[in-house]
């Protein structure tokens, strides 16, 4: 009986294939600091950065148009794209690009980050429309849900977004992975609310990171509008829910300057490799 229980436990806790995820705010072509007239060249640099990591699933923010997302997609053989195409307001922030050889998409959807009674999705305090894009995937003999988002930085909208997401998925039993630019640092009440909603940050599990490229100071790996010291400056987060004992193989920040000797975005790509049951 004891041997049987040991075998059952070892089977239950086995992991298997890892899932490599990248989260990247690409800086839109019309954003302050972006060179709109040279965006095609910067987009090529963004694509090369993404290709170098060979991620299984990508959460991308600030792609303004679905055409830009499709331009990235065509550089990845046998990858699929999830964007919002069902609304009058149809844009590609955020987008999900995934490896169809490794992940089978079961269904996908979208959720506006706005009060439920809003006619136009402009948040709890007037802002650009924000949303969550999600996909349910088969992977490693099971299923999980992947969420991608980009929160507005107004406090009222941060509070509303966290509450809406935690409430919307509170009864979900499948494993959930969230990757996005939250505009929330880990000392903010909204971060605590995410944790109280059942989401765990994988950085807190790994508790270490590596930097790809030349790391001269924290300014190379921080989004400076949110702070100058890592890890306090983090606003890009990977959260998991309903995942028991996740194994985090790596947490990487890409600090390479690949666009005319400059960073190709005002944010840095963050990459993790995760194993879970």
Q: Which residues of the chain have pLDDT under 70?
A: 1-15, 87-90
Residue 115: per-residue pLDDT = 94
Amino acid 88: pLDDT: 64
- Measured in whole angstroms, the distance separating CA 203 from the mean position of its chain's CA atoms is 13
Predicted confidence at residue 136, as pLDDT, reads: 98
Put simply, whether the predicted model's pTM sits higher than 0.85 gets the answer yes
Backbone angles phi, psi at 182, to 5 degrees: -95, -15
Element (H, E) at 148: strand 142-150
Query: Reading across the β-sheet that carries 57-61, which strands appear in turn?
Result: 79-82, 95-99, 57-61, 19-25, 270-275, 247-254, 210-212
Domains and CATH numbers, the chain: 17-275 (3.60.10.10)
């Amino acid at each position: 009986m004891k041997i049987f229980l040991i075998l059952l436990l070892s089977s239950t806790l086995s992991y298997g294939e890892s899932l490599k995820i990248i989260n990247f705010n690409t800086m839109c072509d019309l954003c302050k600091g972006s060179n709109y007239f040279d965006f095609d060249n910067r987009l090529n640099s963004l694509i090369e950065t993404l290709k170098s990591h060979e991620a299984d699933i990508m959460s991308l923010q600030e792609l303004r148009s679905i055409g830009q997302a499709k331009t990235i997609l065509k550089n990845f053989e046998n990858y699929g794209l999830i964007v919002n195409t069902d609304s009058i307001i149809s844009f590609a922030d955020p987008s999900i690009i995934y490896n169809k050889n490794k992940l089978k998409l079961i269904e996908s959807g979208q959720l506006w980050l706005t009060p439920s009674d809003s006619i136009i999705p402009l948040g709890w305090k007037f802002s650009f429309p924000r949303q969550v894009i999600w996909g349910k995937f088969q992977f490693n003999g099971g299923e999980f849900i992947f969420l991608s988002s980009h929160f507005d930085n107004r406090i009222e909208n941060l509070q509303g977004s966290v509450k809406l997401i935690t409430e919307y998925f509170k009864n979900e039993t499948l494993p959930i992975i969230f990757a996005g630019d939250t505009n929330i640092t880990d000392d903010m009440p909204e971060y605590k609310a995410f944790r109280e909603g059942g989401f765990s940050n994988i950085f807190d599990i790994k508790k270490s990171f590596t930097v790809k490229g030349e790391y001269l100071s924290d300014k190379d790996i921080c989004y400076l509008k949110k702070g100058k010291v890592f890890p306090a400056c983090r606003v890009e987060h990977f959260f998991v829910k309903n995942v028991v004992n996740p194994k985090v193989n790596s947490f990487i920040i890409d600090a390479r300057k690949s666009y005319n000797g400059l960073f190709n975005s005002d944010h840095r790509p963050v990459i993790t490799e995760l194993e879970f049951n």
